[in-house]
Amino acid sequence: MSTPAEGPRRVRVTSPRTTGGRRPSTPTGTREIDEQTRLGEMYMDSLIQSQLRLALAMVAGAAVVLGGLPLLFALLPATRTLSVYGIPLPWILLGVVVYPVVYVSARIYVRNAERIESEFTEFVGRK
């Protein structure tokens, strides 16, 4: 028994796994990227190529839609003089219709870019 002058006896508590190996704190995929290994470079190249494909597809789509308007006016001369409620059709198409098309394509681009990045983050986090 301990005497009142000594106080309570101290006990050291330790983990039962003190001798076991530790797991790496960061996933190996992110470590590969951080250490700039060849595999990390391949991961980053894959991400950049996916983003580039998406950007080129969006630019091509916008070029077809927006570039098609002058082509429409050139191939069908009647569209140049056609009026809707007293407003020339080219003005309506170029002044009103273009902006929702650009807005929707920008929203689609952002959503797909975020999806690509989240899939990449999930993939690298698992490796």
pLDDT in tens, the chain (127 residues): 556 667 788 888 776 666 656 665 656 777 777 777 888 888 889 999 999 999 999 999 988 888 888 888 888 888 888 888 888 888 888 888 888 888 998 999 999 999 999 998 888 877 5
pLDDT of residue 55: 94
Strands, E, within 5-127: which ranges?
83-84, 87-88
Q: Where are the domains of the chain?
A: 28-126
Is the pTM value of this prediction over 0.75?
no
CA distance 107 to 115: 12
Radius of gyration for the chain, computed over Cα atoms and rounded to the nearest angstrom: 31
